[in-house]
């Protein structure tokens, strides 16, 4: 699914929902690692077996946004090791992304592709589009290799996100795709106990987590 054609826009009228498959789409992008324009193709990433992290933010050349992208960049290599493709997205053009990356020193370590959604089609699909401003709210979405949306987080303009928590959620999700019968409790990190839902666990979560 490309965002450049009206009939394809119509396919994106429904909002993305956790637990459901995300339709394929493409976005133009600026690739800082290559210093060149590129494309983000969700179908291609799916064929490669990638997890996809879409990191929506309001606008280039603003204030909280560079701090978020810098924070995300600090965890980029770790997320890649988990099999994830990280993509930032705003309603700016790829040309503005290129200029912002060159001007803003906080973006010095950003190597993930910066995708452009100037029509707001993808932002609307993920329900982060602000109709009053034409900008995207701070939304983070994790899509598994099967194309299913497994995590959704949306913040308003004035609250930045935490890439450490994103990494923790990715660790949990990559564990669970290989252990579908289990569940990860709050603050779970690799090596800690998981839960196996069932009749024996009802009312006994404390005992299960504390060897009682």
Tokens standing for 17? 């929902």
Q: Coil, helix or strand for 52?
A: strand
Nearest one of 153, 164, 160, 31 to 85, comparing CA atoms: 31
Q: Are 117 and 136 in contact (CB under 8 A)?
A: yes
Q: How far is CA 8 from the centre of its chain?
A: 22
- Residue 3 designated active-site: no
Tokens standing for 22? 């995300």
Q: Are 180 and 152 in contact (CB under 8 A)?
A: no
Residue 197 buriedness (CB in 10 A; 0-12 / 13-18 / 19+) = exposed
Dist CA 130 CA 138 (whole Å): 11
Nearest one of 69, 150, 152, 159 to 115, comparing CA atoms: 69
Check 52, 54, 65, 79 and give the catalytic one.
65
Question: Active-site positions?
Answer: 65
């Amino acid at each position: 699914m490309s965002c450049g054609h009206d009939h394809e826009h119509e396919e994106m009228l429904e909002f993305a929902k956790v637990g459901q498959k995300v339709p394929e789409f493409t976005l133009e992008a600026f690739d800082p690692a290559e210093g060149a324009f590129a494309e983000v193709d969700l179908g291609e990433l799916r064929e490669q077996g990638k997890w996809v992290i879409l990191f929506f933010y309001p606008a280039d050349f603003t204030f909280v946004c560079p701090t978020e992208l810098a924070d995300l960049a600090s965890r980029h290599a770790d997320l890649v090791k988990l099999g994830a493709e990280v993509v930032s997205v705003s309603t700016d053009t790829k040309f503005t992304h290129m200029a912002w990356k060159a001007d803003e020193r906080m973006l010095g370590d950003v190597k993930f592709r910066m995708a452009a959604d100037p029509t707001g089609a993808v932002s609307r699909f993920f329900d982060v589009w602000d109709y009053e401003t034409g900008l995207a709210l701070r939304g983070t979405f994790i899509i598994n290799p099967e194309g299913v949306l497994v995590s959704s987080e949306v913040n308003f303009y004035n609250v930045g996100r935490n890439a450490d928590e994103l990494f923790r959620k990715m660790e949990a999700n990559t564990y669970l795709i290989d252990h579908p019968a289990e569940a990860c409790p709050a603050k779970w990190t690799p090596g800690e106990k998981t839960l196996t839902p069932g009749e024996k666990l009802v009312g006994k979560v404390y005992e299960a987590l504390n060897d009682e």
